[in-house]
Structure 1
Amino acid sequence: MGSLKDQLSSLVYSTDGGDQRKADDDPAAADDARLAGLDGIVRLRRETSGRKGKGVTTVSGVPLTMAELKPLTQALKKRCGSGGTLKDDGMIEIQGDHRDALKTELEKRGFTVKLAGG
């Protein structure tokens, strides 16, 4: 447990969102909102920004719910023999440059894949 100051300084009201104590984290609504903005193309990108020069391959635009993305993330990490994570916005990060292996695996699973960025 934190100090008394930390306990008392939690956000209770915001002019943007109203009463924060009543904020419900509805995963189904978040999935619906995320899926509505997708065009059906999975994009693979190699990124190094904000990671102290370490490269990661990001997979974005996968038209699956968060519950369905978890086992996909595990399978992709296992396929590449590398670590990685699933972000809250539905983006999968795999450590290292594995764009070719990920492209073949995702196409095998029936997704339309596009290599994006450099």
Structure 2
Amino acid sequence: MSKSKKQPYEGVVYSTDNSFEYQFSDLFQDIETLPNQQQQLKVQLDRKMRKGKVVTLVTGFKGKVEDLETLGKFLKQKCGVGGSAKDNEIMIQGEFKQKIADLLLSEGYKVKLVGG
């Protein structure tokens, strides 16, 4: 089963009213990115649904998608591996939990290591 994607049109399938205007939820409004010192990021290792391969997850980012992708690109370059940044989560291929935590701390983020 795949994760359900959050849809901008909740509960509306079709309307025959010519003057109908859908009111979008606040969920999809871009929020301002918090400064690095106010971000509380969690770094953890994960193997679920990845055929046993290890990835490092960085969660808890609050801000614009562009800033999340920029941070993800920075971490991927420093670790020299691939990954992705989507759904307010950065996924780095491989076991780089401590290295990523050190990089984030040097950039001024608050970091919490999750798991053993």
Give the TM-score, by structure 1 length: 0.69
- In structure 2, do the counterparts of structure 1 residues 53 and 20 end up closer, same or farther at CA, with 3 Å as the change threshold? farther
Equivalenced residues, count: 97
- In structure 2, do the counterparts of structure 1 residues 23 and 97 end up closer, same or farther at CA, with 3 Å as the change threshold? farther
After TM superposition, the structure 1 = structure 2 runs for residues 30-45 of structure 1, keeping only pairs within 5 Å, are 31-32=30-31, 40-45=39-44
- 1:77-118 per-residue CA deviation (whole Å, 9 max, x = no partner) reads 01111110012x210000001011101111111110000023
In structure 2, what is the Cα distance between the partners aligned to 1:20 and 1:74? 40
Partner of 1:80: 79
Partner of 2:49: 50
- 1:24-45 per-residue CA deviation (whole Å, 9 max, x = no partner) reads 7x9961x43xx8xxx8420001
- In structure 2, do the counterparts of structure 1 residues 17 and 46 end up closer, same or farther at CA, with 3 Å as the change threshold? same
Percent identity over the alignment is: 34
Structure 2: runs of 5+ lacking an equivalent: 1-8, 16-21
Equivalent residue in structure 1 for 2:98, among 97, 100, 103: 100
What is the Cα-based RMSD across aligned positions, in Å? 2.9
Give the TM-score, by structure 2 length: 0.70
Give the letter for the 1:104 counterpart.
Answer: D
Partner of 2:89: 91
Partner of 2:113: 115
Structure 1: runs of 5+ lacking an equivalent: 1-13
Q: How far is 1:63 from its partner?
A: 2.7
Q: How far is 1:64 from its partner?
A: 2.9
In structure 1, what is the Cα distance between the partners aligned to 2:96 and 2:14? 41
- In structure 2, do the counterparts of structure 1 residues 20 and 60 end up closer, same or farther at CA, with 3 Å as the change threshold? farther
SS of 1:18's equivalent?
Answer: coil
SS of 1:62's equivalent?
Answer: coil
Partner of 2:68: 69
- In structure 2, do the counterparts of structure 1 residues 20 and 104 end up closer, same or farther at CA, with 3 Å as the change threshold? farther
Give the letter for the 2:106 counterpart.
Answer: K
Select the structure that is richer in helix.
1
SS of 1:110's equivalent?
Answer: coil
